[in-house]
C-alpha cells in the first residue's frame, strides 16, 4: 500500500451540528501524525471543480462550537457519473491527496465506497447525519444536538397545545428512520410517535385515538417522522379533520430548524473521538470503513454494512412511550 503523506477531508450531503468538530479533529490528528491536510470545499462537487485548500491547525481554531460546516457541503449529481468521478480523481492526484476522510450520511458514504472501488483510494467515513440511520454506530454526529433542538421546540408548542385543548402533529426529520421522532417524543413527554419502523398493518393514527388519550388529557402532542411512505404531519392532521372532526387539530413542520445550532457537548466529544479514530484507522492501513461507536467504544464498520443494512429501532422505546403516555 502506498505511503500516505496528505489526506483530504470533505463534508457531503445535509449538514449536521458537530461536522466542524470532526473536521477539526481530523485536521489536528493528521498534523499530529506528520501528515498534510487538504480541505475540499462543497463535498464531492468541490473535488470535481478543484476547490481544494491547505488546512493548518490554525484553520480549524475556534470551530468546535460552530454549527454547519466550514468546508461547506453540497449534493453532487455529477459525482454519480463515471466521468464526474474521473475528474474528481484527477484533481485529487494533482493535489497530492493520498487518502480521503468523508463526513456525511448514507449517500456520502455510498459515493466514497464507489470511488474507493474504482480508484483504489483509501477512504474512511465519519457518520455525520442528524437522522442516526447508519448501521453499526449507536449514534451519528449531529443526532444528539438535533434531538435537543426538537425537544426545545416541542416544549414551546406544548404551551400552546395545552392553552387551547389541541392535538398537535409535529413533523421531524429522519427520512425513513424514526429515531428522532421516537426519542424526542419520550423526552418531550409526547402522547405518541408515528414512525416508519412501526408501520405494520396497524393504523397508527387509529391506535393513538383509540387509546383514549382524551380521558385524562386535554391536549396531545404527536411526533411524526417525515416519510416518503407515510405522508408526514399534514397527512395525519388532514385525516383527523376528516375522520374525527370533534378534535381541534394543528400541525407544525420543524424542517431545517433541526439541522442548525451549536453542537451539544456529546456531539463535540463524539466528533472529536471519531476524527482522531479516522486518522488512526488510516495509520493502521484500514480502508473503506466507517468509524462507528458501539457501547462507547470506537468500531470499524465496512461501508457496505453501514449503508446497506437497515438500523433497527429498539422496540423497547415504543413500549416506554406507550406506557408513559397514559
The residue whose grid cell reads 475528474 is: 87
Ranges of beta strands (E only) in the chain are 6-11, 36-40, 52-55, 99-104, 123-127, 167-172, 192-194, 220-225, 249-253, 289-294, 297-302
Instruction: Please choose, from the candidates 28, 15, 57, 47, the residue with its C-alpha nearest in 3D space to the C-alpha of residue 123.
Output: 47
CA distances (Å), origin 178, targets 22, 130, 143, 236: 25, 11, 12, 16
For residue 158, the surrounding DSSP H or E stretch is helix 143-164
Q: What 8-state DSSP symbol labels residue 195?
A: -
Give dist(CA 155, CA 220) in Å, integer. Answer: 12
Q: Which helix (H) or strand (E) holds 46?
A: helix 43-48
Residues 6+ apart with CB under 8 A from 54: 36, 37, 38, 39
Whose CA is closest to 280, among 298, 303, 267?
298
Q: How far is CA 64 from the centre of its chain?
A: 18
- 214 Cα distance to chain centroid: 35
From the list 15, 98, 120, 131, the catalytic residue is: 131
And the C-alpha cell for 102? 468523508
Q: Does residue 155 carry a catalytic annotation?
A: no
Give whole-number Cα distances, 245 to 156, 167, 240, 241, 242, in Å.
25, 12, 6, 5, 6
**Which of the residues are catalytic?**
131
Amino acid at each position: 500500500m502506498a505511503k500516505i503523506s496528505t489526506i483530504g477531508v470533505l463534508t457531503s450531503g445535509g449538514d449536521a451540528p458537530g461536522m466542524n468538530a470532526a473536521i477539526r479533529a481530523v485536521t489536528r490528528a493528521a498534523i499530529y501524525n506528520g501528515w498534510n491536510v487538504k480541505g475540499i470545499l462543497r463535498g464531492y462537487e468541490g473535488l470535481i471543480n478543484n476547490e481544494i485548500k491547505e488546512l493548518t491547525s490554525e484553520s480549524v481554531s475556534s470551530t468546535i462550537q460552530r454549527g454547519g460546516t466550514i468546508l461547506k457541503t453540497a449534493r453532487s449529481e455529477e459525482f454519480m457519473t463515471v466521468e464526474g468521478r474521473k475528474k474528481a480523481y484527477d484533481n485529487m492526484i494533482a493535489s497530492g491527496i493520498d487518502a480521503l476522510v468523508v463526513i456525511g450520511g448514507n449517500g456520502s458514504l455510498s459515493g466514497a465506497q464507489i470511488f474507493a472501488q474504482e480508484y483504489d483510494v483509501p477512504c474512511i467515513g465519519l457518520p455525520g447525519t442528524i437522522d442516526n440511520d447508519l448501521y453499526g454506530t449507536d449514534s451519528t454526529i449531529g443526532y444528539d444536538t438535533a434531538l435537543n433542538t426538537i425537544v426545545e421546540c416541542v416544549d414551546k408548542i406544548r404551551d400552546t397545545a395545552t392553552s387551547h385543548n389541541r392535538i398537535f402533529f409535529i413533523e421531524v426529520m429522519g427520512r425513513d428512520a424514526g429515531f428522532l421522532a421516537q426519542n424526542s417524543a419520550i423526552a418531550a413527554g409526547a402522547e405518541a410517535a408515528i414512525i416508519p419502523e412501526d408501520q405494520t398493518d396497524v393504523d397508527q393514527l387509529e391506535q393513538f385515538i383509540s387509546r383514549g388519550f382524551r380521558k385524562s388529557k386535554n391536549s396531545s402532542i404527536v411526533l411524526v417522522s417525515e416519510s416518503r411512505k407515510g405522508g408526514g404531519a399534514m397527512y395525519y392532521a388532514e385525516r383527523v379533520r376528516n375522520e374525527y372532526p370533534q378534535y381541534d387539530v394543528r400541525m407544525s413542520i420543524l424542517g431545517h430548524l433541526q439541522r442548525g445550532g451549536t453542537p451539544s457537548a456529546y456531539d463535540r466529544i463524539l466528533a472529536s473521538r471519531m476524527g482522531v479514530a479516522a486518522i488512526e484507522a488510516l495509520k493502521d492501513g484500514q480502508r473503506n470503513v466507517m468509524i462507528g461507536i458501539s457501547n462507547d467504544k470506537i468500531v470499524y464498520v465496512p461501508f457496505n454494512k453501514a449503508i446497506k443494512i437497515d438500523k433497527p429501532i429498539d422496540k423497547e422505546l415504543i413500549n416506554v412511550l406507550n406506557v408513559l403516555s397514559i
